[in-house]
Amino acid sequence: MALVVRSSHLKRIAVLTSGGDSPGLNACLRAIVRTALTHHLEIFGIRRGFKGLISGDLIPLDGRSVSGVINRGGTFLLTARDKEFRTGKGIKKACLVLAKHRMGGLIVLGGNGSLQGAWELSQKTSTAVMGVPKSIDNDVGGTDFSIGFDTAVNTAVEVIDRIRDTATSHERLFLVETMGRKRGFLALATAIAGGAESVLLPELSSDIPSLCRKLAEAKRHGKVSSIVVVAEGDESGGAFKIAKRIQRSAKGYDVRVSVIGHQQRGGAPSAFDRILASQFGTAAVEALIRGERTKLVGIQGGKLTLSPLESAWKIEKPLDPNLLRLSEILSS
């Protein structure tokens, strides 16, 4: 284990969760608290994200605060989105709270928007700010994986496994809509793991007539049911709009739609997410101890990394071309 050299001025840090929830947040909070205590730091939790930071809703945390939380979904600190924080007045209030409580460091668990807010705060405060990526969409730059993505994929695949049973029994075509307004990482991974016949993604043009021809060809070869995964942000619209287009173009199909929705945000985190979240939490605290600031903890190529916090929203991760090719091959 690498030697951690403590920054002499760091005595007290805080942590908050902001934006949409994702499985694994509690595991990360647990790691942050226990790592801070191991290094004899005071640790405070900020309830309800930046909204709680502005109002000064801070609570002291200790070992008992995170007992029995590693397997729980959601976040025990609660989370919220706050418009006031996006204003200069709101950021000023947040800075005053951090100064009042003499916070040497602040760890923000968030997605693109929350991490951008963390960066904006870091430009106005002397408190060192660290970002930890969490997103079931896995669209945060500077990291291969975000907390919650793996669990969300597993949840969606479990739903597809169940839907396939009824699709086969009734010889139906099901369109299964996953979350992903702007990016298709979740839909693509779900489609491959769920054995879908096709996947429609926001990043790629959707050729509905070609999809209908593909489905018809499969039917001629004896396929009695099909699953098509649709990211909610696909350019052709959500699953319901696409279902109507398919129904008009591909005669003889009994089309059904299933929207997985917020189920993907909840539930016990997978083992992968628990381990990833624990690694991120410990890495964030120890980076603050070393004197790092305005950085994003991530994992790239299997190794923990520290990137500029701006990487979270300035770097646009591409879809893996190998996974796209694999999806085509396996759905043929």
| Residues annotated as catalytic (active site), given as ranges | 137
Question: CA–CA separation, 221 vs 84, rounded Å?
Answer: 58
| Type of residue found at 306 | L
> Do β-strands 58-60 and 42-46 pair in parallel, antiparallel, or remain unpaired?
antiparallel
Yes or no: say if 215 and 250 are a contact pair by the CB < 8 Å rule: yes
Yes or no: say if 33 and 61 are a contact pair by the CB < 8 Å rule: yes
The conformation of residue 208, written as its DSSP 8-state character, comes to H
The conformation of residue 7, written as its DSSP 8-state character, comes to P
Place of tokens 């500029």: 308
Which has the closest alpha carbon to 231: 285, 181, 193? 181
| Type of residue found at 28 | C
Burial class of residue 303 (count of CB atoms within 10 Å of its CB; 0-12, 13-18, 19+): exposed
Question: CA–CA separation, 286 vs 290, rounded Å?
Answer: 6
Residue 272 CB contacts under 8 Å (≥ 6 apart), including other chains:
150, 151
Yes or no: say if 225 and 238 are a contact pair by the CB < 8 Å rule: no
* CB atoms closer than 10 angstroms to residue 166: 13
Question: What is the per-residue burial (b if ≥16 Cβ within 10 Å, else e) of 134-160?
Answer: bbbbbbbbbbbbbbbbbbbbbbbbebb
Tokens of 93: 């209030």
